[in-house]
A and B are shown apart, each in its own frame.
Chain A
Amino acid sequence: MGGSGDILGNRLEARAKDGLVRFPCGACPSVAGRYEEIGSELREKIAKMFGRSLAIREVDAGSCNGCEIEISALNNPVYDIERFGIRFVSSPRHADVLLVTGPVSRNMEAALRRTYEAIPSPKIVVAVGACAADGGIFGDTYATAGGVGRVVPADVYIPGCPPRPELLLQGLLLAINRLRQEPGGRGQASSGLARS
């Protein structure tokens, strides 16, 4: 569980301190201030692998909307993710990437599954935030599935509560890098790649 272990490790460590759950607010030092750099790398890769444009379908599967604030921020003129060739699309049929937030509430399970199925292969699933990794603070309860991986095969987990824009970009980079490692290039990213 390397990928999600990271996040879990973070949380457990924080929990031990004083019995309080302190979620890392996505202030991950390795990416701070590196937005442009990560973006250009991403743009190059997208140009090569996806014919210049990567389409993302976002699904809120019961998040607190904190992650949505940061994902929407990618579209503001400061981050302006479209200049790297990345676009949020309104139909799953147009998407390469499924970006999912939230612990997957029971009431969203069917909708998430159907959105996943509607995306043409090859597709990449990116789980955003502590909730999407393992349920986060909402855990695994009568009302939640306890993480995106329990419902659809997640390829990459982006830690943070919520992850800041740089980290989201880094996660996308990681996701398409994983895809390239697949034999045959643009193949279906199989579940568990990021976790192995």
Chain B
Amino acid sequence: MNRQGLEGYAGGMEARFPGRIRRVGYNHNEIHFHLEDPRDAPGICGHVHASMKARLATVVCTDERRHGNGFVIRYVFEKEGEDAFIFIIVPLGHGNSFPSIILHVPGASLYEREIRDMFGLVPAGNPDTRPLVLHEHWPGDAYPLRKDFRLGTKAGRREGVYPFLRVEGDGICEIPVGPVHAGIIEPGHFRFSVLGENIINLETRLFYAHKGIEKLAESMAPEEIVRLAERISGDESVANSTAYCQAVEKILEIRVPERAKKIRTVFAELERAYNHVGTLGGMATDAGFAFGAARMGILKERLMSLNEALCGSRILFGVNRIGGVVPDIGQENKELILGRIGVILRDFDKVAGLLGSKSSFMDRLKDAGRIPKKAARDLGIVGVAARCAGIDLDTRRDHPYAGYNIRNGRTPQEVVRDQIEMEKRAGDAMARYEIRINEVRDSFGIILGLLDLDGDGLCGEVPERMEPYQSALGYAESHRGQTLHWVMTGEDNSIFRYKVRTASFCNWQIMGHCVSSDIVPDFPLVNKSLDLSYSGNDL
């Protein structure tokens, strides 16, 4: 969005909250409102969320005590339908608590609990006082993201029990699952309260894979963090490294060559495609349709070997760098892509036809794991999970980046048609299945459309030095949805704060809501159809 549009917001806000806004700042598509008094935060955030129709995209806390600001909290909202991010910036001064905004913005709860664990600040008014990131064995007085906490600290252990929500009543029992699961999947704990086979309540406990990524980044060189970003979630390596690189490129005003942008996009779509195919296969497995799963498994393997042929890594590690990309796509590889994708797409259509023709498979998907649209909106769900419930969000279109040019590709008629499509979506596993099938085809289409690579630059000019305390937001749409990375530079070419919010962090919240009318045996299928990352959530 252009400066004028953002200034329009500033006028509106100042008129609505006279004297409450100390300063307004601009940074590309971001508008920053610096508040005077933390107590104004809930009301102002509520206004932005409800009246300005903006989704809470992330909440970033920084420890700026050394600079005299105390702790600072930034609430980041994403304006629906506009390329604009609205920051509400609240310096806490010397206080160690901040007013909770969850009564106005329900989706803020997890962020507030995260801030309490990592910074030791108390969200006054948030009724959920349980730990989130640091489990019960963590001592009560060590806060990893404070600047005076050393990365290598080995904090002592203490005994503790996590108070799960108890459902009581005749015939209700609990089924605890995890963190070690039956299959080859990531660690997480699910606590089902069931009556017979019906799920009465599901509580998800995560952060078993918490590796301290944000803290670690503060000790790494900016270009090393690209490799770290890839490992936030191995299957989202391109999306996360793209988001990080774009944040740094925005700060440093690096001009990324057109060719590099297109190559980045080709790899991003390859990533989306191989993962969607994998998820479709996983859904077939969990519905007990082994043949369909095997066929999808073969396609995924072929896509992964294409990945390897193009960049040396089967899961696309090493594609991005600050300012551009590492691997080129020369004539030979272009032909390789054209040839292989042609064949894969043909087979994909056959397998999709096969799955769609099996009523025993399709019946399992219907109505399973239905996402309620209102909850999805309130909690700020993104990606396929939002789209399946009729919420039309796609970072590639809403905030065009890299080589994406999706919005311009739609005629007004197509926009209306898409809106009608959205309204029809049921939010169940079937809707997610259909969306994934379509998105795989779209990805192949986007890739083929980007192969007319011109120019020859793979990397823009990267300045030697970074100005300290500059910040920017980077974003990308992975196969799971929007991934949002906020970067602030520090002294001596370091990173002062790296805040990562992947799609999984948003979407895990919906799990409990969407299985509430399912039976236990449907859970694996519903879980797979949402395809969330644990590592990407836990960081």
Choice from A20, A60, A140 contacting B152 with Cβ under 8 Å: A140
> Do A66 and B235 have beta carbons less than 8 Å apart?
yes
Q: B446 at interface (Cβ–Cβ under 8 A)?
A: no
A102 vs B184: C-alpha distance when bound (angstroms)? 13
Nearest chain B CB to A24 CB, angstrom units: 10
Q: A139 at interface (Cβ–Cβ under 8 A)?
A: yes
> Do A115 and B180 have beta carbons less than 8 Å apart?
yes
Knowing A64-B232, A111-B179, A142-B155, say if A105 contacts B208 (CB, 8 Å).
yes
Knowing A65-B535, A141-B216, say if A20 contacts B223 (CB, 8 Å).
yes
Q: Which residues of B contact A7 (CB under 8 A)?
A: none
Residue of B nearest to A140 (CB): B152
Q: Which residues of B contact A23 (CB under 8 A)?
A: 227, 317
A127 vs B149: C-alpha distance when bound (angstroms)? 30
> Do A72 and B209 have beta carbons less than 8 Å apart?
no
Nearest chain B CB to A55 CB, angstrom units: 13
Which residue, of B154, B234, B318, B534, has the highest number of chain A Cβ atoms within 10 A?
B234
Knowing A60-B186, A77-B297, A111-B180, say if A137 contacts B228 (CB, 8 Å).
yes
A47 vs B482: C-alpha distance when bound (angstroms)? 48
Residue of B nearest to A91 (CB): B182
A125 vs B238: C-alpha distance when bound (angstroms)? 32
Residue of B nearest to A136 (CB): B231
Choice from A60, A66, A88, A115 contacting B315 with Cβ under 8 Å: A66
A81 vs B144: C-alpha distance when bound (angstroms)? 42
A64 vs B533: C-alpha distance when bound (angstroms)? 9
> Do A66 and B186 have beta carbons less than 8 Å apart?
no
Q: B187 at interface (Cβ–Cβ under 8 A)?
A: yes
> Do A60 and B227 have beta carbons less than 8 Å apart?
no
Choice from A69, A108, A141 contacting B235 with Cβ under 8 Å: A69
Q: Which residues of A contact B144 (CB under 8 A)?
A: 142-143
Q: What 0/1 pattern do residues 196 to 220 of B give for CB contact below 8 A with A?
A: 0000000000011111110110000
> Do A141 and B152 have beta carbons less than 8 Å apart?
yes
Nearest chain A CB to B301 CB, angstrom units: 5
> Do B298 and A77 have beta carbons less than 8 Å apart?
yes
Q: What 0/1 pattern do residues 82 to 116 of A give for CB contact below 8 A with B?
A: 00000010111000000000110111101100010
A91 vs B182: C-alpha distance when bound (angstroms)? 7
> Do A64 and B234 have beta carbons less than 8 Å apart?
yes
A92 vs B231: C-alpha distance when bound (angstroms)? 28
Knowing A20-B223, A21-B227, A61-B187, say if A69 contacts B317 (CB, 8 Å).
no
Q: Which residues of B contact A73 (CB under 8 A)?
A: 301, 304
> Do A78 and B301 have beta carbons less than 8 Å apart?
yes
A107 vs B138: C-alpha distance when bound (angstroms)? 9
A70 vs B308: C-alpha distance when bound (angstroms)? 13
Knowing A27-B312, A78-B297, A162-B234, say if A142 contacts B154 (CB, 8 Å).
yes
> Do B154 and A108 have beta carbons less than 8 Å apart?
no
Knowing A60-B209, A62-B535, say if A71 contacts B187 (CB, 8 Å).
no
> Do A25 and B312 have beta carbons less than 8 Å apart?
yes
> Do B211 and A105 have beta carbons less than 8 Å apart?
yes
Q: Which residues of B contact A67 (CB under 8 A)?
A: 234
> Do A162 and B224 have beta carbons less than 8 Å apart?
no
A2 vs B223: C-alpha distance when bound (angstroms)? 30
Q: What 0/1 pattern do residues 11 to 30 of A give for CB contact below 8 A with B?
A: 00000000111110101000
Q: Which residues of B contact A91 (CB under 8 A)?
A: 182
Q: Which residues of B contact A142 (CB under 8 A)?
A: 142, 144, 149-155, 212, 215
Which residues from chain A sit less than 8 Å from chain B, CB to CB? 19-23, 25, 27, 58-73, 75-79, 88, 90-92, 102-103, 105-108, 110-111, 115, 137-144, 161-162, 164
Having A25-B318, A66-B234, one finds 20 other A-B pairs with CB under 8 Å, namely A25-B312, A60-B184, A62-B210, A62-B535, A62-B538, A66-B237, A67-B234, A78-B298, A88-B184, A106-B210, A107-B134, A108-B187, A108-B208, A111-B180, A111-B187, A137-B231, A140-B152, A142-B151, A142-B155, A143-B212
List, sorted by A's number, 20 A–B pairs whose CB atoms are closer than 8 Å: A19-B223, A23-B227, A25-B312, A27-B312, A58-B184, A60-B187, A64-B234, A65-B533, A68-B186, A71-B184, A75-B297, A76-B294, A76-B297, A92-B180, A105-B209, A107-B208, A141-B216, A142-B144, A143-B211, A164-B314
